[in-house]
Structure 1
Amino acid sequence: MMGILMLIAAVCAAEAAWLWRWVPVRVPPEADSGMQELTLPLILEMLSVAIRQGSSIPHALIAVGGIVSGEFGDGLRSAGERLNEGVSWNDAWPDDGDLAVVRDAFASSWTNGTSPVNRLEVAIEQFDWDERARIEQSAARLSIRLLLPTGLCFLPAFVAVGVIPAVASFAG
């Protein structure tokens, strides 16, 4: 009984010494700001939700641009503000690769007055298909990389266990 109590006391003392030197992990300052870098499909989904809830295209761009950090969010906000000021569709958008996807998804809606929800859903599905294809290609490359070492390990074992005894039994 006394040995168990001594063991528990030793474990507690060791844990207390470890906790004394333990330093908690610090959160980087950029993660504290609440603004995170979001993926383009998520941004398109947020725009789609804003449009479905009755927001106009410029107000949806401004609202989602306020959530998204970086140049992409600034581009969305500035495009929405410029559209509210009456600037033409093509002049309101800055030239950026990812912003071109959003611009193209809303272009026919702005000029023809159709709902942009279908185009946004198609763009989101296309990104999902592209991501799925990229994952499947990576998995295929990984399976090939794993096959070579596995084959190199099993081939000598197969020869040593299967082929050599068979040849020895025929020879003897």
Structure 2
Amino acid sequence: MKEIVLAGFGGQGVLTAGLIISQMASFKGYNATWSPQYGSAMRGGTAMCTVKFGKEYIYHPTADTPNILLAMNRGGYDAYSNTVKPGGTIVINSDEINVEEINLRTDVNNVVVPCKQIAKENDVARSENIVMVGVVIRETEDFTYEEALNGMNDMFRKKGKEAFEESNTIALKAGWDYKK
């Protein structure tokens, strides 16, 4: 069973990123849950969600000791980095978190990603969250790139958002291919 926590602030696409990952898992045939939590502010307030997926039944959607944390801002890192299982992975948005100012854990894989820079370099400037989905999903080692892409595109097609398919594909691939 994989447990992922995604944390940041409203407007960063944290909840959408979690929903995409859960839909990728479901599309592949896994049992999957997505549990969003957010503050009352539309933008700028706290936003986090948990995603769980695997072949096993899922009896509750929370993730007390996740395998992976996606920290989109310092608050998300501070709140959840100590909950990641030893040997797990923390994906850090270095556009919002100065890694020189935090105590990186030595018992996890720290993946530092300049997602805004990557998105701009690939002409998908508003898709930082999709870049990070690419990184996170690669780190799970549960999907091929094609499985991830097909799951994401299926979700957006069902929502009638095919217009974003090209930019989302570029962003997902950029994240998948990013090496720290």
TM-score range, shorter chain: under 0.3
Q: Which has the higher strand share?
A: 2
Structure 1-normalised TM-score?
Answer: 0.27
Computing the radius of gyration over CA atoms, which structure comes out larger, 1 or 2?
A: 1
